[in-house]
Each structure stands twice: as structure tokens, then as C-alpha cells.
Amino acid sequence: MEALTKVYRDQPKTVLFTAAAAIRILAALLFPALPDLLTLRAELSTPVNSFKRSETVQYRKVYSSMSEDSTHTMAAYSTSHACQAQATTAAFAVALAGHTSLHPVMLLPPIGLLCYDRVCVQSAEKGQTSETDGAIADSTKTNVAVDLRSQPQPLQFGLRFVATFICAEAFLFGFSRLILPSWRFIPSIYMTLLELPDLTPNAGLWWYFFIEMFDAFRSFFLGVFWLHMLSYSVPFCLRFQRQPLAAVVLMMGIIAVFEPYANAGDAGAWLSCLCLLGHLFELTSLHRYTFPAIATLLYSTLLGPAFHHLWIYAGSGNANFFYAITLVWSLALLILLTDTVYAALRDEWEAERPEGKGKEIRQM
Amino acid sequence: MKLSQLLTLPVALASAVLAIPEYSEHLHLRPLPNGYLYAGFNFTASTTLSAYESQHFRYFPRSLGQILQHSHTQELHLRFALGRWDDESWGSRPRDGRREGGTGVEIWAWLDSGGGRVAVEERWSNLVNSLSGLFCASLNFIDGTKTTRPVLSFEPEGTRGEGGGSMELLHGTLPHEVVCTENLTPFLKLLPCKGKAGVSSLLDGHKVFDANWQTMSIDVRPVCPVGGEECRLEIQQTVDIVLDVERSMRPRDDPIPRPRPIEELECDESKSYHAPDTCYPKRKEGEMAWSLSKIFGTPVRGSCHLADGDEGSDIGIEVLPDRLVNVLHGGSNDTLAPHKQNHDLRLFRLPDSARQHTDIMVSQQVIQQVPLQNQPPLYASRQITGFGQERGGMHAVIRNPHPDQQRIVYLESLPWFLRPYMHTLKVQSHPTNSHDKPTMDVKLEKMYYTPALDRLRGTHLELLLTVPAESTVELTYDFDKAILRYTEYPPDANRGFDVAPAVIRVLPNNTAGNGNGNAQGSYLRTTSLLLPLPTPDFSMPYNVIILTSTVIALGFGSIFNLLVRRFVLAEEVPPSPLALRVAQVAGAVGAIVQSLKGRLRGTEVGQSSGRKAAGGEGGMNGSGGGAKLNESGGKDDWAGGATSQDESRKHR
């Protein structure tokens, strides 16, 4: 046991990834029917990530084999590299995630912000260590006079970051074109996301809305839904300038709730990412509705499959049953998201005004 | 004796004279086991290509000819079909299945491919839309999603002279279409005698669509004789029906089946419970008696001998040689003698006079000899497996009863909302009779697969494979059922969607193919399938739009509410001016009430004893002071709030 802890302390990354890979392989070996079972669940499998479908569908072969898993991995990878102030790697990872499914592109502004933040901190630390021989390590807690001239220019950094992203994306398109016979993969991938031709039931808000939508208003509401999703990215960056990691995690939450082919996997990835903001949990549970939200999530997790079965297999319920439960699911996720936004803002405010801790506050 | 050979006999006889008649018609009758009767009508007209191009139409229907010219159609095959051919008891299909269609409407045509893909699609659209008008069928619904381009399943029937441009084959199906009398009437209008005379006078909608199985076909093809004569364009119209003899012979004025009075019944007296009031009906022995006028409701009216050189027979009956067949026309009753070369067949030529009615009668007869039943090349059936409305599987069974292996082409055109997984396609064979031998994978010689595109194109699957001798081949694959937009469902959404039948072409054994018919091989089709799809609630559009929008608005509202406002301590919040004013007014009113109360009490005290007066006054003072204190306290609070706010501003 001690040896294990020692190994973990020495090479935490290697141990973590090895353990993850081992669990994955073991699960596949011990339960050979598991992949089949999982791909058949409506909550988990969507047209965009379905492994079974990817084996047949034209032009998506290369893409879907990378599937949803890799999108999550890429988003997480990008975040971690942004935390290490490696702008190029982070931008490339976002490009890779956005290349397979469109919406991770919305993570670009918060991740750029996070990257910029870390670059600033690093340069400040450098300046500090050269001045004070590394006396103070924690630069975020104490207010230190930072030499603004040694900071990188935000505009310059932003342009460089976006340029890296565009280059990476262009490279990926060129690479895809090399593998595939024609450029037709672009509309067949991105129109599937933009136009929602496939209305297979999933855990999101889009499918039933666009089944029932009147034909004349279909394109209008598709535009509204996409614009709505886009409308969060920049406001989050502006408001959470001091805590860019929160902006990234919240944007992942927005994507998990509002994406066109939503699934439980995305929501799960987001809920695990919430641990990055672990210092906020106390605030959410103290001031907000975390318990009702999580209770609702559990409720819809149990009732969702049941209602899906009633509609599709038993025939004793209709589509409204499952639709209602997806609404409840999205609502619970939204409440959790709003609570996190509140907690992040309050945390920032409390750092500014420590006397307000635990007191009742108002918004103005 | 092969049915198809018999049917081509009159044509063969006529071609022996080396002059193809411009118009000929023929009716072939054949009793089937279990009291069924097969009737195959055949009407063939032709015109020279030069006459066709200069729009001189005599027996070739002008309306159809102009449509074909307009849409640059080289060869047309149109089918309207209903019911199922029971090949287990009826044997092989008439005309080798080449004039048969899948349930509903099926059309395939070779179009001039000049001008590229767009031009061909335009011509196809022109063709199906015009035919839709001509035949009162929903052919105009054959759009891109119902059109496929088969590669192996069909070959042009016509012979073409040199200099013909390239052609492209398009195939469309409408499995949901219900074929009925409104399709038969325009079909008869294409005939020169319009169903008023000749064998076509028997075709009545009530009888044709009361059949257990019926198929109408129209085939237009160019025919170039070998002798260097001018090429001709031939139109062949056929109607094949299988009638239930007993049901068809019910009198028209009393069509509802009722129990017959006991006197009319023939009872089986060997039964133990036989009594004067109990009767077990005796099974009818031998062949049933029937006549044309009873089955079709009318005798043949006159004849339709129009063209020169048409010396062929009009009616052929295929019965056992011992059977008695009578012809009743113009008051005389003759017995029809068997054909000289083929004793199973009797041929009859209608008299030329247009007024006389002709009827053919076959009496009930007990014949020991069992008629030879021709075995079909293959038996095929197809089912949907699985349960639920999310996914399912296709399962086709093809059985080869013959001792030789057979090469077949299996064609499926699936609607786009049925999403097959081709990696799950399995073709396996096992011997039909012995279950000991293991199943083997059948190697697909060729596979053509065009995947579906949502709302644009259906799936086209074509397989070339060999069915081993006396074995059964099972073909399975999985599929998903898509959920559609609510406007895409038909009014009876919960009935399900029809999936077109699979077409199986049995390739001829000798690939060289000496004759035209042999090169085509024979065809059979499975029944159409009913595919249930998940349905949304059709009454909900407004509710769904409102509810989903509410959830989204709730998220958007609460997040942006948090983002755009700043936090302040609750005690720092200044009360609103309105609340202040209300508090002031309430305070003033309270003070007035208190002073009034005080006055009232003061007068009471003045009247009562002096002992209590001190306490009363004290009480009054106390309460009055309390009210004043409250008021001033409120003012202090407000002032304090203001100062603290000022302080907080200074902090910033």
C-alpha cells in the first residue's frame, strides 16, 4: 500500500491514466455484453456518438470512431494544458474536440482566458522569484504589485491563440481530406449538428421540440437555439475574468444541457468537472437549492429509462412521458448550473468583502 | 407443362406467320387447387417506330405514347398489385413472375441518360407525374426517397436497333398504394375495344378487386425483328387474377354468405351424430363447376378482332383432358375439344360478330387424375423481427426446393426512416430437410449498397448469391427505426409504414441465354411489410413549444440575472421610496389612532375613581411614547443605512 502511494506521489499522471485504462479494459473483458448494452440506451447513445451507427454510416467512419469519449478527453486535456499555460496545446486540443463535434468551439474564449491568466501568473511569479528569491509562493491570495509591463498584451495573446486554433483546424480539415475521398464530409458532419435531421429521443431539449415544431418555423428556431447556446460564452468570460476555470466549467455545463444531441455522458463529464470547483460546494449547499436539484436528478435518472420503456416497448405511455422526464432532467441540471454561477460569483465577492461571509445578500 | 410456355404459344404461332399482328388479345384460364381459378388476360398492341415518332397511333394508346415521348422513356414497366400468390398450394407464378408487381404500385423504366443525372431525374419526375394523372394513382409521390437505381435485378426486355443512346434504369415503389377500380378504368381505356367487346369485357372492377391475388401490368418495349424489318414499339397489358370460385359465383343481388337451407345441403351420413336436424356437410368431390358468366358476372360480349393477320385464339383453358368444357354462344352449345399438340389445353376463337355473347361452362366432375403442379423456382418470405418501436431486424428466408443450386439477385429498397446496419448482415444456409448439418455462411458474389440519406434517398441493397440445392438461405440484419417530424406522419400514424417487397430474380442456369425469356430469368416478390415507428403526441405542438421554451428561458434568465447584477449585503440595501412613504403613512395613521384611543380613555378615566386614574395615565403615556420611539427608531435606521452605504462607497 505504501509502495503504491509512493508510486502515486512520484508519477501521479502515469498511475491515474494506467488505472483508467485498466478499468476500461477490465470492464470490456469482464462484461463483454456491456458495449452492446450501452449503445442501445437512449440516454447514452445519440446519432452523433453511436458506435453501432458509426460502423455503417458513410463518411462518419473515421470520425465517430473517435466519438464522444475523445471529445470529453480533448476538452479536459485542453483545460489541463491551459492550466499549465501551454497555449498552443490547449488551442490544438480545442480544435480537435471542435472538429468532431461543433460545440466545443464555444469553449475557445474561456480556455483562451484561462490560458492567458496562467501565463500572466507565471510571468508574475518569475518576476517575483527574481526579486524576492521565491519567498512567497501563493501569489493569488496576497496582493502583490505586479509589473504590468512584464505581462503579455491581452490583444496580442488573444490573436495568437485564435491563430493557433485556426491553423490547427485547417490542418485537421486537410488531414481529413487526405483520408476521405471528397470534401463532402464537411456538410454531412456539420449539417447533422446544425440542422438536427435525426430526432431520435435523447436526454436533451431539442428532439421533441423539433418533432413538434411547425415546418415554417423550423429554421428560425434552429437559429434561435444555436444563438442561445452561443450567447453564454463571451458573458462568462467577461464576468469571470478573475476565475477563468469557473468560466470553462460553466461553459461545459451549458453545452451539456443545451447541446443538440444531448446525452447522459456529457452531463456526467460536466458533473465530474464540477469537482474542479470543489471550493464552491459549501457555498452552493449553504445558500442555494443543491439538495432539491440533486434529488431531482436522481428522480429523473430513475424515471427516465422507465418512461422510455413505457413509451417505446410497453406502449402503455406516450411520448409525453419521456419528454416530461427529459424536461425535468434539464431543469435540474440548469438549477445546478445556476447554483454554481451564484457560488462562483459569491466566492469572488466574499474574497473582496470578507465581512459578508455567511450573511444574507441581495442582488442589485 | 409450363404456364409461361403456354402463354407465349399464341404469340409463337403468330410469329410463325412472320407478321406480328398490330393487336391481339388472349385470356388464359386455369383451375387451381382448393377451388381457385387463375385468369390471365393479355392484350398486346404494337406500332412501328416511325409511326410512333410521327405520332401516328392506331392501336397503341396515344395518351401513353405521348407521355413516353415527352419523358424520353425507352422502356416502361408499370405494375399494380394486390394480395399474395400462395405458391405453396398454387405452384409457380404465371409468366415466371415477370408480369407481377409488389403489393401496391411498382414502376421501373429505362430513360435516355443524355444530359446527365439532373436531366434523367427531371425525366423520371415527368414520367411518374404524368402516369399519376393517367392512372389515377399516387405515382407522383415517387420522389427521390422512393427511387432506386438497381444494377443487377432488371434487364431491358426489348431488343434495340443500333444507334440507340445510353439508357438509365430507375425503379420506384409505392407499397402503401391501394389498387382499386379507379386504376382499372384508365387501364381499360388504353385498349382499342375499351373493355366493351372481346375478352376485356369480362374485366369488371367488382370481380377483379374481389380476387385473392391480382396484378395489372403495362409493359412498353421496342422489338426489332430478326429479319431486318422495321423495329416496332410493343405495349403489353396484362391482368392476372386468382379468384375464389365459390365467392365469385355468389349472385350479385345476394352477395352476403348465409347458411343454406338444410334441404340444399349434402350431408355426410357416415357421421354418428347425423340426424334429420343435424347435418355435417359432405366435402364436395372432384372439380367445381363454373362458368364465365357466373364468375365474372357477364359472358364475353362480342369479339375484338381488329388487326389483319390476327388468327390466334382468344381464350385458352388449361384443364385435364377428361374434363368436359362447353361453349355456349348464339344459342348453340358446343363441346370444346383438346388442342392437337397439347391435350391439357383447349383453345377457342371468338366469332367475329360483335353482337353475340359467348359463355364457357365447366361442369362438376370427379376426375381421379391429379393435375401436374409446377414447382416454383424458390420459396421466399420476409419478416420483421424484434419488438418495440426503437429497433428491429429483417429476416428473409429463401428456400430452394430443387436439386440444383440457383443464383439469385436479392433486391431491397428501404425507406430512409428504416436504418439498416450492414455490418450486421448475415447470410447463412442450411439444408432444408436435415437439421444435423451446421449452418454455413453464404458467400456474397456481389453486393451493391447505397446508404440512405435522411429525407433525400432511401436505401438500395442488391445482393448476388447462390442458393445451394435443397437448402434454405436465411438473410438477417438489424435496423433502427427513426422518429419523424410530426408533419411527416400519415393520418393513421399508429398503423405503421409500408416497406416495399423484396424482389428476387432467379438467374437462368445457362448464362448464354438463347431466348429472350430465358435471359431474363424468373422473378418472385415477398409480401410488403408493416413497420411501426415511434409516434409523438400529435396534439402537443403548442404545449411542447411553450414548455421547452419555459425551461430554456428559466435557465437563461437566472444565469444572466446573476451575471449582470452585483451583490450587496441585505442590510446595505436602501428601502425603496415607496416603502418609506407607506411606512410614514402607516406611522401617522397609527399615531392618530393612538391619540384618539388615548383621548377616549382619558374621558373614561375622568369619570371613574382617582385610584385607577394614575395607572391609566401611565399606560397612555407609555403607549404614546412607544409609538414615538418606534418612529424615531425607524428614522435612525434609515439614517444609519445611508451612512453605511456612504461608507461602503468610500471603501470602493
A–B CB contacts, 8 A cutoff, strictly below: 143
**pLDDT digit string (tens) for A57-76?**
443 433 433 344 566 677 77
Whether A340 and B555 have beta carbons less than 8 Å apart is answered as no
Q: Does B422 touch chain A (CB under 8 A)?
A: yes
B493 to chain A, minimum CA–CA distance in Å? 13
Residue B588 lies in a domain: yes
**pLDDT digit string (tens) for B205-245?**
888 888 999 999 999 999 887 777 788 899 999 999 999 98
Which of B365 and B360 is assigned the larger pLDDT? B360
Cell of B641: 443605512
Of the candidates B335, B318, B320, B326, the residue with the CA atom closest to the CA atom of residue B367: B320
Cα→Cα distances A266→A71, A202, A271, B14, B496, Å: 9, 12, 9, 75, 34
B418 to chain A, minimum CA–CA distance in Å? 12
At A296 the pLDDT is 94
Helix (H, G, I), strand (E, B) or coil at B603: helix
- DSSP assignment of A275-332 equals GGGGGGHHHHHHHS-HHHHHHHHHHHHHHHHHHHHIIIII-SS-HHHHHHHHHHHHHH
At B230 the pLDDT is 81
- Interface with chain A: mutation pick from B387, B453, B486, highest number of A CBs within 10 Å: B486
Q: What is the mean pLDDT of residues A121-146?
A: 58
This model of the complex carries an ipTM of: 0.86
| Domain's final residue, options B444, B472, B495 | B495
At B544 the pLDDT is 94
Strands B23-32 and B315-318 turn out to be parallel
Residue B416 lies in a domain: yes
CB B551 to CB A205 under 8 A?
yes
Query: Domain extents for chain A?
Result: 45-191, 200-364
* Helices vs strands, H then E, count in chain A: 18, 1
At B465 the pLDDT is 93
Which of B642 and A170 is assigned the larger pLDDT? A170
Residues of A in contact with B571 (CB under 8 A): 359
Whether B498 and B457 have beta carbons less than 8 Å apart is answered as no
At A46 the pLDDT is 62
Beta bridge partners of B467: B406
Rounded-to-integer distance, Cα B419 and Cα A53, Å: 9
At B412 the pLDDT is 93
Is the CA virtual torsion B141, B146, B149, B150 positive or negative?
Answer: negative
Residue B107 lies in a domain: yes
**pLDDT digit string (tens) for B289-299?**
888 988 998 88
Residues of A in contact with B551 (CB under 8 A): 205, 327, 330-331, 334
**pLDDT digit string (tens) for B150-175?**
999 998 888 776 556 788 999 999 99
At B119 the pLDDT is 92
At A344 the pLDDT is 94
Locate cell 449538428: which residue?
Answer: A193
Q: What is the mean pLDDT of residues B407-429?
A: 93
User: What is the number of other CB atoms lying within 10 angstroms of the CB of residue B354?
Assistant: 15
CB A53 to CB B451 under 8 A?
no
**pLDDT digit string (tens) for B502-547?**
999 999 876 444 444 466 789 999 999 999 999 999 998 999 999 9
Verify that B363 and B477 share a domain, yes or no: no
- DSSP assignment of A16-31 equals HHHHHHHHHHHHHHH-
Phi-psi map region of A293: left, alpha, beta (phi>0 left; psi -120 to 50 alpha) = alpha
Verify that B275 and B401 share a domain, yes or no: no
A323 to chain B, minimum CA–CA distance in Å? 9
At A53 the pLDDT is 56
Secondary structure, 3-state, B451-519: CCECCCECEEEEEEEEECCCEEEEEEEEEEECCCCHHHCCCCHHHCEEECCCEEEECCCCCCCCCHHHH
Verify that B372 and B383 share a domain, yes or no: no
Q: Does B363 touch chain A (CB under 8 A)?
A: no
Rounded-to-integer distance, Cα B583 and Cα B605, Å: 32
Confidence of residue B605 (pLDDT cuts 50, 70, 90): low
Residue B372 lies in a domain: yes
Q: Does B555 touch chain A (CB under 8 A)?
A: yes
pLDDT of residue B262 exceeding 70:
yes
Residue B9 lies in a domain: no
Nearest by CB: A363 against B422, B559, B567: B567
Verify that B58 and B94 share a domain, yes or no: yes
Beta bridge partners of B223: B232
Whether A363 and B561 have beta carbons less than 8 Å apart is answered as yes
Verify that B350 and B482 share a domain, yes or no: no
Whether B249 and B294 have beta carbons less than 8 Å apart is answered as yes
Locate cell 404524368: which residue?
Answer: B130
Verify that B344 and B388 share a domain, yes or no: no
Nearest-CA residue of chain B relative to A258? B552
Rounded-to-integer distance, Cα B559 and Cα B554, Å: 8
Confidence of residue B123 (pLDDT cuts 50, 70, 90): very high
Residues of A in contact with B387 (CB under 8 A): 313
Residues of A in contact with B455 (CB under 8 A): 197
Verify that B88 and B46 share a domain, yes or no: yes
**pLDDT digit string (tens) for B542-569?**
999 999 999 999 999 999 999 999 888 8
Which of A70 and A236 is assigned the larger pLDDT? A236
Q: Is B103 exposed, middle or buried (0-12, 13-18, 19+ CB in 10 A)?
A: buried
A257 to chain B, minimum CA–CA distance in Å? 10
**pLDDT digit string (tens) for A139-158?**
444 455 555 666 778 888 88
A151 to chain B, minimum CA–CA distance in Å? 26
Helix (H, G, I), strand (E, B) or coil at B63: helix
At A37 the pLDDT is 65
- Interface with chain A: mutation pick from B387, B453, B483, highest number of A CBs within 10 Å: B483
Beta bridge partners of B31: B37
pLDDT of residue B323 exceeding 70:
yes
Which of A65 and B18 is assigned the larger pLDDT? B18
Of the candidates B450, B452, B449, B430, the residue with the CA atom closest to the CA atom of residue B441: B430
Verify that B104 and B246 share a domain, yes or no: yes
- Interface with chain B: mutation pick from A53, A54, A202, A208, highest number of B CBs within 10 Å: A208
Rounded-to-integer distance, Cα A98 and Cα A166, Å: 11
pLDDT of residue B630 exceeding 50:
no
Nearest by CB: B544 against A199, A200, A209: A209
Alpha carbons within 13 A on the beta-carbon side of B90: 21
Verify that B42 and B107 share a domain, yes or no: yes
Residue B321 lies in a domain: yes
CB B568 to CB A345 under 8 A?
no
CB B562 to CB A209 under 8 A?
no
pLDDT of residue B10 exceeding 70:
no
- Interface with chain B: mutation pick from A37, A41, A46, A56, highest number of B CBs within 10 Å: A56
Chain B residues 461-490 with CB within 8 Å of chain A:
480, 482-487
Please report which residue ranges of A101-153 form alpha helices under DSSP H.
Answer: 108-132
Rounded-to-integer distance, Cα B18 and Cα B114, Å: 35
Parent domain of B170 = 21-376
Of the candidates B291, B99, B306, B290, the residue with the CA atom closest to the CA atom of residue B198: B306
B584 to chain A, minimum CA–CA distance in Å? 24
- The DSSP element (H or E) to which B41 belongs, if any, is strand B36-48
Q: Which residues of B293-322 are buried (b: 16+ CB within 10 A; e: fewer)?
A: bbbbebbbbbbbbbbeebebbbbbbbbbee
pLDDT of residue B611 exceeding 60:
no
B564 to chain A, minimum CA–CA distance in Å? 8
User: What is the number of other CB atoms lying within 10 angstroms of the CB of residue B598?
Assistant: 16
Verify that B372 and B398 share a domain, yes or no: no
Rounded-to-integer distance, Cα A257 and Cα A326, Å: 10
Verify that B173 and B230 share a domain, yes or no: yes
Q: Give me the number of domains chain B comprises.
A: 3
Nearest by CB: B568 against A235, A319, A362: A362
Q: What is the mean pLDDT of residues B401-421?
A: 92
Strands B418-431 and B325-329 turn out to be unpaired
Q: How far apart are the first and last CA of chain A?
A: 54
Confidence of residue A100 (pLDDT cuts 50, 70, 90): confident
pLDDT of residue B274 exceeding 90:
no
Cα→Cα distances B323→B296, B329, B368, B557, Å: 21, 19, 11, 89
Verify that B352 and B401 share a domain, yes or no: no
Nearest-CA residue of chain B relative to A206? B548
At A92 the pLDDT is 83
Confidence of residue B426 (pLDDT cuts 50, 70, 90): very high
Q: What is the mean pLDDT of residues B168-191?
A: 92
B490 to chain A, minimum CA–CA distance in Å? 14
Rounded-to-integer distance, Cα B58 and Cα B51, Å: 9
| Domain's final residue, options B338, B359, B376 | B376
pLDDT of residue B148 exceeding 80:
yes
Residues of B in contact with A349 (CB under 8 A): 566-567
Which of B277 and A141 is assigned the larger pLDDT? B277
A61 to chain B, minimum CA–CA distance in Å? 12
Task: Indicate the range of A54-68, B41-55, B279-293 predicted with least confidence.
Answer: A54-68
Confidence of residue B332 (pLDDT cuts 50, 70, 90): confident
Residue B515 lies in a domain: no
| Domain's final residue, options B444, B471, B495 | B495
CB B548 to CB A208 under 8 A?
yes
Which of A364 and A314 is assigned the larger pLDDT? A314
Residues of A in contact with B534 (CB under 8 A): 201, 311-312, 319
- For chain B, give the percent of residues with pLDDT over 90: 43
Residue B539 lies in a domain: no
Which of B204 and B258 is assigned the larger pLDDT? B204
